[in-house]
Amino acid sequence: MIPAPLKKQLGNFEEGFVLKRSVFQPCLELYPMKEWNKVMQKINKLNRFVKKNNDFIRAFTAGVKMVDIDATGRLLIPKDLVLFSKIDKDIVLSSAVSIIEIWDKNLYESALDHAMVDFADLAEEVMGNQNDEEDGIS
């Protein structure tokens, strides 16, 4: 079941969703169709006659499934994606800006524990050079 706050984030349920393997983690990514179309516009600009581009497209779209969320907010995860993400019993739905990550609970907690060790360095590297004067946050 998708919790109510995440339903709001996902937007229009009538357009459908794309469920796919994550590139970096053993989890799944749930894209609202609007967000998936934005990603695909970028990918469609890649030259398919460059082998690395072709290999990337194949790997990125491996296991992609079009899915719907039913009227009660339930999502059926296909068996191959359950196996990929090693979902056992309990899951975590994690908001990741414009998509939702779907994790096995134990793997999610392990990934968080591992990430916390490096988070200060990561935050400095990723955000440290940002200086957006409009909002006063630098």
**Residue keyed to tokens 């899915």:** 67
At residue 138, does pLDDT exceed 60? no
pLDDT the model gives residue 12: 66
Computed on alpha carbons and rounded to an integer, the radius of gyration of the chain in Å comes to: 17
65-94 average pLDDT score: 91
Task: Extract the tokens encoding 26.
Answer: 């053993």
Does the residue 138 lie in any domain?
A: no
Residue 39, helix vs strand vs coil? helix
Does the residue 137 lie in any domain?
A: no
98-107 average pLDDT score: 93
Q: How many domains, in total, are found in the chain?
A: 1
Does the residue 109 lie in any domain?
A: yes
pLDDT the model gives residue 71: 78
What pLDDT digit, counting tens, does each position of 3-42 carry? 777 777 676 667 889 999 999 899 999 999 999 999 999 9
- Rounded CA-CA distance 130/89 in Å is 40
**DSSP letter at 60?**
H
CATH code at 108? 3.40.1550.20
